[in-house]
C-alpha cells in the first residue's frame, strides 16, 4: 500500500517535525565524522604525505561533479508508489552507516595500496551520502511552505545538526585517545578508528529507524511533477541560468570552504598551536563549544531572518563570523581557545540557519517560472559546486603546509612558520572566503519583499495543483 502523503493544508505536528529533522542527525553526523577525521587519519597515520591526499580529494571533487547533479536530477524524475525521494533515502541509509566503518580499514605498509583504498572509499562514501542527503534536504522546501514555517522547522533541524556535530566530534575523543598524535603504533590507531566507526554506525542506524518510519512524507500535490522534470543536462542548464541560484551557490561555496577547513585543521591546531598533547577530550570540546554556541545563537539568527530576510541576514552573519575568527591568530592557551571557539559559534549559527532558507526561496521562484518543483536538481547541482570547495580546502592546506616545510608529516619539525601556517588556515583563509561570500550575497535578487510576493503567487499554483489532483483522483 502506498504511503499516505500530506497536502499543503495539513499542519505539521511536533512529532513529525522531530521525526523528519532527526534525519539531519545522520546527515550532518556522518559528514562531520568524515571531515573531522579523514585528513588527520590519512595524513598522520596512513599515507603521511600531503600531496597524494590532496590529489585524492581533487579526484573526489571531480567525481562529485557527476555524482551530485546526476542523483539530484534522477530524484526529480523518479515515480514510485513511495514517492520521488523516499526510495533513495531508504536504500542509502544502511550503506551510509557501514561506510562509517569501511573508511578506517585501509591496507598499510604500501603507499600505493593505501592511496587507492583512500580514493575508492571517499568516492564511495560521497556517492552514498549524496543519495541520502540530496533527497532528504530536497523534502525541506516541499514540506514547509512559508518563511515562518521553514524557520520553525529549521530551528529544530539545527538543534539536531548541533547534537550530531557535537556527538561526531566528542565521541572520537573517548574512543580515539591518540587522535592528537601521540606516536602510538599504527595498529593502535586502526583499532581505535574502527571502534569509533562501529559506534557511529550503530547510532546512525538506530536514529535511521525513527526517521524512516515517522519522518518521511511527501506532498500529494507535487506527485505528478516528475512528468515535467527535465533530464540532467537540461536541469543543469536551467539551474545555472537562474541568477538567484548562481549567487546562492557561490556564497555557499565560500561558506562550505569554512565549514570544511576549520574541523580539518582543528586536530593539528590543537596539538601544535595550543599544546594539547594527551587530553584528546579537550580537543573535541573545542569544536563542541563552537557547535553548542551555534545552537544557542540559532534562535537569534532565526529571529533576524524573519525580520530582515535571508539576504541581509547572511551578509550580517558572514561579517560577524569574520570578526570572530580573528582570535585564532593570537590565542596561545586552552582557556582563551575555548572562548574563541565559543564566539566563532555565533557566526557559524547564521550560515547554518540560512542555507536551506535561501535555496528554498530559489526553488519557489523557479516553480513560478516552470510550474514544477525541482528541489532534487537544485540540491544536486548545489552539492556539485560546494564540493569544489574541497579542492580549494586541500590545495590551500597543501600550499601552506608545504610552504612551512610540512609536506611530509613530522611532529619533530614544527617551527614558528608552521604555527603561523596553522593559524592562517584557521583565520585568514576562512575570513577571505566569508568576505567573498558576503559581497556575492549582496547581489542576491530575491529581497524579503520579493520573497513574500512570490509566496502569494505560489499559493495559487499549489491550489491549482490540488484541484487538478482531486479531479483526476475521482
Contact predicate 134/383, CB 8 Å: yes
233 pLDDT above the threshold of 90: no
Percent of the chain with pLDDT over 70: 85
Domain count, the chain: 1
8 found inside a domain: no
pLDDT at position 100 is 96
**What digits encode the pLDDT tens for the residues 149-163?**
776 777 788 788 888
Backbone angles phi, psi at 408, to 5 degrees: -105, 130
pLDDT at position 411 is 81
226 pLDDT above the threshold of 60: no
* pLDDT tier for residue 7 given thresholds of 50, 70 and 90: very low
Considering 50-64, 82-96, 316-330, the range whose residues carry the highest mean pLDDT is 316-330
**What digits encode the pLDDT tens for the residues 252-278?**
889 889 988 998 898 889 889 998 876
Bridge partners (DSSP) of residue 231 are: none
* pLDDT tier for residue 321 given thresholds of 50, 70 and 90: very high
Residue, of 44 and 11, whose pLDDT is higher: 44
Spatial CB neighbours of 14, under 8 Å, sequence gap ≥ 6:
none
Quote the mean pLDDT of the chain. Answer: 83
pLDDT at position 4 is 45
pLDDT at position 1 is 35
185 found inside a domain: yes
- Round to whole Å and give the CA distance between 326 and 431: 8
**What digits encode the pLDDT tens for the residues 445-455?**
888 788 778 77
- Round to whole Å and give the CA distance between 67 and 236: 13
Lowest mean pLDDT, pick from 175-184, 276-285, 407-416 = 175-184
Q: How far is CA 459 from CA 93, 143, 463, in A?
A: 33, 13, 6
7 found inside a domain: no
443 found inside a domain: yes
420 pLDDT above the threshold of 90: yes
Q: How far is CA 274 from CA 260, 330, 385, 398, in A?
A: 20, 10, 34, 21
57 found inside a domain: yes
200 pLDDT above the threshold of 90: yes
110 pLDDT above the threshold of 70: yes
Spatial CB neighbours of 474, under 8 Å, sequence gap ≥ 6:
none
- Round to whole Å and give the CA distance between 419 and 404: 9
Domain hosting 97: range is: 15-473
* pLDDT tier for residue 301 given thresholds of 50, 70 and 90: confident
* pLDDT tier for residue 225 given thresholds of 50, 70 and 90: low
Residue 69 burial by Cβ neighbours in a 10 Å radius (0-12, 13-18, 19+): buried
Domain of 426, CATH number, reads 1.20.1250.20
Lowest mean pLDDT, pick from 203-207, 255-259, 366-370 = 366-370
311 found inside a domain: yes
* pLDDT tier for residue 376 given thresholds of 50, 70 and 90: low
Residue, of 199 and 299, whose pLDDT is higher: 199
pLDDT at position 120 is 96
pLDDT at position 146 is 64
Bridge partners (DSSP) of residue 408 are: 49
Query: What is the mean predicted confidence (pLDDT) over 273-297?
Result: 82
Bridge partners (DSSP) of residue 219 are: 6
Lowest mean pLDDT, pick from 140-154, 155-169, 384-398 = 140-154
Query: Cell for 40?
Result: 588527520
9 found inside a domain: no
Query: What is the mean predicted confidence (pLDDT) over 68-89?
Result: 77
Residue, of 134 and 424, whose pLDDT is higher: 424
- Round to whole Å and give the CA distance between 76 and 434: 32
* pLDDT tier for residue 115 given thresholds of 50, 70 and 90: very high
- Round to whole Å and give the CA distance between 342 and 65: 35
Query: 393: number of CA atoms within 13 Å, CB side?
Result: 27
608545504: which residue's cell? 402
pLDDT at position 343 is 93
Residue, of 393 and 350, whose pLDDT is higher: 393
pLDDT at position 368 is 80
Considering 195-209, 366-380, 383-397, the range whose residues carry the highest mean pLDDT is 195-209
1 found inside a domain: no
Query: Cell for 320?
Result: 560577524
* Vertex 453 angle, CA 450 and 456, to 5°: 155
Query: What is the mean predicted confidence (pLDDT) over 94-107?
Result: 95
Amino acid at each position: 500500500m502506498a504511503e499516505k502523503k500530506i497536502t499543503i493544508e495539513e499542519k505539521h505536528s511536533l512529532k513529525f517535525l522531530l521525526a523528519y529533522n532527526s534525519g539531519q542527525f545522520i546527515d550532518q553526523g556522518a559528514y562531520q565524522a568524515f571531515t573531522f577525521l579523514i585528513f588527520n587519519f590519512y595524513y598522520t597515520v596512513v599515507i603521511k604525505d600531503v600531496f597524494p591526499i590532496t590529489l585524492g580529494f581533487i579526484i573526489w571533487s571531480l567525481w562529485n561533479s557527476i555524482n551530485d547533479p546526476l542523483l539530484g536530477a534522477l530524484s526529480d524524475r523518479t515515480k514510485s508508489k513511495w514517492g520521488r525521494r523516499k526510495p533513495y533515502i531508504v536504500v542509502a541509509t544502511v550503506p551510509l552507516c557501514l561506510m562509517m566503518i569501511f573508511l578506517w580499514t585501509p591496507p598499510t605498509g604500501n603507499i600505493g595500496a593505501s592511496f587507492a583504498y583512500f580514493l575508492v572509499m571517499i568516492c564511495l562514501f560521497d556517492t552514498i551520502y549524496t543519495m541520502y542527503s540530496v533527497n532528504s534536504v530536497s523534502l525541506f522546501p516541499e514540506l514547509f511552505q512559508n518563511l515562518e514555517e521553514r524557520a520553525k522547522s529549521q530551528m529544530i533541524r539545527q538543534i539536531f545538526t548541533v547534537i550530531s556535530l557535537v556527538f561526531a566530534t566528542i565521541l572520537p575523543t573517548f574512543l580515539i585517545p591518540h587522535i592528537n598524535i601521540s606516536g602510538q603504533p599504527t595498529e593502535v590507531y586502526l583499532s581505535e578508528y574502527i571502534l569509533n566507526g562501529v559506534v557511529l554506525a550503530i547510532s546512525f542506524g538506530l536514529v535511521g529507524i525513527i526517521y524512516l518510519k515517522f519522518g518521511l512524507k511527501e506532498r500529494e500535490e507535487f506527485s505528478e511533477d516528475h512528468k515535467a522534470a527535465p533530464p540532467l543536462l537540461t536541469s543543469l542548464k536551467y539551474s545555472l541560468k537562474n541568477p538567484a541560484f548562481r549567487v546562492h551557490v557561490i556564497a555557499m561555496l565560500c561558506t562550505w570552504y569554512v565549514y570544511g577547513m576549520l574541523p580539518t585543521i582543528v586536530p593539528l591546531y590543537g596539538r601544535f598551536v595550543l599544546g594539547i598533547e594527551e587530553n584528546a577530550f579537550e580537543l573535541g570540546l573545542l569544536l563542541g563549544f563552537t557547535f553548542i554556541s551555534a545552537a544557542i545563537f540559532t534562535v537569534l539568527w532565526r529571529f533576524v531572518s524573519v525580520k530582515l530576510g535571508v539576504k541581509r541576514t547572511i551578509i550580517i552573519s558572514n561579517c560577524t563570523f569574520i570578526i570572530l575568527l580573528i582570535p585564532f591568530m593570537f590565542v596561545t592557551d586552552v582557556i582563551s581557545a575555548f572562548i574563541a571557539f565559543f564566539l566563532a559559534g555565533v557566526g557559524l549559527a547564521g550560515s547554518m540557519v540560512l542555507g536551506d532558507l535561501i535555496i528554498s526561496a530559489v526553488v519557489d521562484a523557479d516553480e513560478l517560472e516552470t510550474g514544477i518543483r525541482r528541489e532534487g536538481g537544485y540540491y544536486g547541482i548545489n552539492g556539485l559546486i560546494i564540493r569544489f570547495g574541497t579542492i580549494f580546502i586541500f590545495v590551500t592546506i597543501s600550499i601552506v603546509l608545504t610552504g612551512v616545510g610540512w609536506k611530509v608529516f613530522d611532529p619533530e619539525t614544527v617551527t614558528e612558520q608552521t604555527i603561523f601556517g596553522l593559524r592562517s588556515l584557521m583565520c585568514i583563509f576562512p575570513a577571505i572566503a566569508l568576505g567573498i561570500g558576503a559581497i556575492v550575497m549582496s547581489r542576491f535578487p530575491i529581497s524579503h519583499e520579493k520573497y513574500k510576493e512570490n509566496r502569494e503567487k505560489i499559493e495559487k499554483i499549489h491550489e491549482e495543483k490540488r484541484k487538478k489532483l482531486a479531479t483526476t483522483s475521482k
